[in-house]
Chain A
C-alpha cells in the first residue's frame, strides 16, 4: 500500500506520525462514498429524463413543436397543446417572485442589518423558516377560505374602476391567478429570505464599517454597499425561489381555477403545467399520458433554463464585484 511509503519517515519518539493504513482506508472509503453519492444523483436525473423522454417520445413525434403553441387540451379529439399552461406557469411564478422576492429581501435586510437584537432576529428567522414546513394542501385550503374572500372586494373594485387596464380586465369570482400567485409568494418567501440572509451575513462586517467611515448613512450603507456586495447570493435566492414556484402543484391546482386560457388579467382563472399534470394524470388514457409526459419534459426544460440563467447571473455579478470584469 502507498500508505506505507511514509512509514519510516517519522523520527522515533516524534509527536507527529504519518497516516496509518487505517486512516488511509477511512479516507479512501469516504472518497468512494462521496463519488458514488454524487454520481448516483447525476445518474438519477439522467434516468428520470430518459424515462420521461421515452414515454413522451410518441407525443413529441405526433405533435412536434406545435404542442408548445397550441391552446387546446382535448382528450376526445386527442389534440393537445400547452401554451396556456406555459403562460400560466411563467406568469404565476413571476408574480410570486415579484411579491415574494420583495418581501423576502426586505425581511432579510431587516433581520441582518442590526435593526433587531440578535436573539429577537433568531426568533423571527425560525418563524419564517417554519412557513416552509407548512404542507402545500394547507396553503391551498387557506387560499380558498381566507385569501380569496379577502381579496375579492378589492379585486372587483379594481375591475370596476380600472377595468380598461388589461391586468384588471375581469372580475375575480373565486379561483384565479392573483390568489394563486399570492399564496405562491408566501410559499417561496422562506426560501428567498433564508438564502438572502445567509448572503448578507457573509459580507464582512468591516465592509459596512468602512462604508460608515466614508460618511454614508445607514440606508446608503445597506442599499449601496451591503446589498450589491451580496447580490450574487440574493440572485441565487431568487432563482431558487422561482424554481420552487414553477414546480409547485397542489396549492395551485386548488387555487388557479384550472382554466385552459391565456389572459393578462390577474383575476382570470388560468392553468399551470404542474397543476395540469396533477389534475389529469390520475385518469389519463395512453395517448393523454404521452402528452402529459411531453408537458412534464417542457416543465423540466423551463426549470433547467431558469436555473442556468440564475447561475449565469450569479457568475456575472460575482465577477463585477470582485472587479475582474
Chain B
C-alpha cells in the first residue's frame, strides 16, 4: 500500500512538474523564407542573434523573393524576405497586416569570365542593355573596345547567364535596364520573371549561386549577381557607366551614394532605377523583411528585437559582407515602423 502511495505521489509530482519544465525548455522558433539576394548577410545576422539571445532561434531559407511572398501570404512562415517588397495587391491578400522594413541594401554587379582575367572592364550605359538584349554578341564589339582601350578583348561570343527562377534580383535589374534603355523596356520589360530574348547564347541558372557557378565555368559569360556573391567568390565584375557618364565600380561608397538618392513611400518602399549623382553606382536596391502586424505576443517581441539587432549591430558587418550600411535617416524610419509589429 505504502509503495503504491509513493508511486502515485511521484507520479503527481512529475505530472505537475512536466508542464513547467516544458515551458522553460520551450524555444521560440522564428521561421522565415524568401530572397536569396541578402541570404549571406541574413544567415550571419540570424545565427549571431540566435547565439546572443537564449530561447530563440531564427531560421531563414533562401527560396527567392517570389516564394517568400507566397509563403508569407499562405502564413507558413513568421516573416519573409523580398527584393521586390510587396505590391499593393499582394499586401491586400494578407489579412493580418504587413510591415515592410528595408533592413539592408545591396548592389547588383555584372560578373564576367574572360580568358586572361582582364580586370576593371568598363561597360557604357548604351552597351550593357544591348548585351542582355542579345544585340551585342561579341566581346570585341567596337563599342566595348572603344570604352576599354587598355584591355585586350578576345574574339569570343558573349554568353548571357540569367535567372531560371523568379527573382527579386531580376526585378531590380530589369527595372534598371528598362529605365535606361527604351528598347529593353519595349522588348523585355521588367518583372521577377521576364521573357528574355531567345538566343543560343542565353542560358539560365537557378539562384545567385547558380549564376555565379555558371559564369565561373563558362569562358565569355556575363551575368547579373549580387555584389556580395561576387565578392565572396572573387568573380570579376564590370564598372558601369552611370547617368552622369562616370564609370563606377560597385563598392560601399558608391552604393551609399546611390542610397542617398532614394525616396521611400509611406510603406517604406522605394526603388532607385537610375541614380543621378555623379558618384553613384547605377544598380542598387534595398531589400525588405516582411512582417505581420498581428501575431502571438511572444513572437512579436522577439521579432522586434530581431529588427533592433539588424539595424544596430547588424549594420556594422554589412560592409565586410558586401552590402551597403543603411543611412541614418532610414534606420530611424525602420525603428518607428517596427513598433507596428504586435
A residues whose Cβ falls under 8 Å from a Cβ of B: 72-77, 144-145, 148-149, 170-171, 173-176, 253-254, 257-261, 263, 265, 267-269, 279-280, 282-285
Contact = CB atoms under 8 A, between A and B. Distances in A.
A144 B213 contact: yes
Contacts of B202: 259, 269
B160 to A, nearest CB: 9
Contacts of B218: 148, 173-174
A170 B159 CA distance: 12
B205 A282 contact: no
17 contacts: A72-B195, A74-B195, A75-B193, A145-B217, A171-B157, A171-B200, A173-B201, A174-B214, A259-B204, A261-B198, A261-B199, A268-B200, A279-B164, A279-B165, A283-B64, A283-B66, A285-B66
Contacts of B164: 253, 258, 279
B193 A175 contact: no
Given A76-B189, A144-B213, A175-B214, A258 B204 contact: yes
B136 to A, nearest CB: 15
Name B's interface SS: loop
A201 B177 CA distance: 63
Contacts of A258: 164, 203-205
B215 to A, nearest CB: 9
A279 B164 CA distance: 6
**Which range contains the number of B residues in contact with the other chain?**
20 to 34
A174 B159 contact: yes
Contacts of B64: 282-283
Contacts of B200: 170-171, 259, 261, 263, 265, 267-269
Task: List the 10 closest A-B pairs by CB distance, nearest first.
Answer: A283-B66, A174-B218, A258-B204, A173-B159, A257-B203, A170-B200, A283-B166, A258-B164, A268-B200, A261-B198
Given A174-B159, A175-B205, A149 B189 contact: no
A175 B202 CA distance: 10
Nearest to B63: A282
Contacts of B255: none
Contact of B67 (A75, A77, A171, A282): A282
B337 interface: no
A285 B213 CA distance: 28
B206 interface: yes
Contact of B165 (A144, A269, A283): A283
Nearest to B113: A174
B248 interface: no
B65 to A, nearest CB: 8
B217 A174 contact: yes
A162 to B, nearest CB: 16
B137 to A, nearest CB: 11
Nearest to A77: B195
B132 to A, nearest CB: 14
Contacts of A279: 164-165, 204, 206
Nearest to B194: A76
A174 B201 CA distance: 9
Contacts of A76: 189, 191, 193-195
Nearest to B158: A173
Interface in B52-98: 63-64, 66-67, 70
Contact of B221 (A75, A174, A176): A174
B325 interface: no
A267 B218 CA distance: 14
B220 interface: yes
Nearest to A170: B200
B194 A282 contact: no
Q: Which among A145, A171, A265 has the greatest number of chain B C-beta atoms within 10 A?
A: A171
A259 B203 contact: yes
A149 B193 CA distance: 29
Contacts of A75: 166, 191-193
Nearest to A175: B203
A269 B203 contact: yes
Q: Which among A76, A144, A259, A285 has the greatest number of chain B C-beta atoms within 10 A?
A: A259
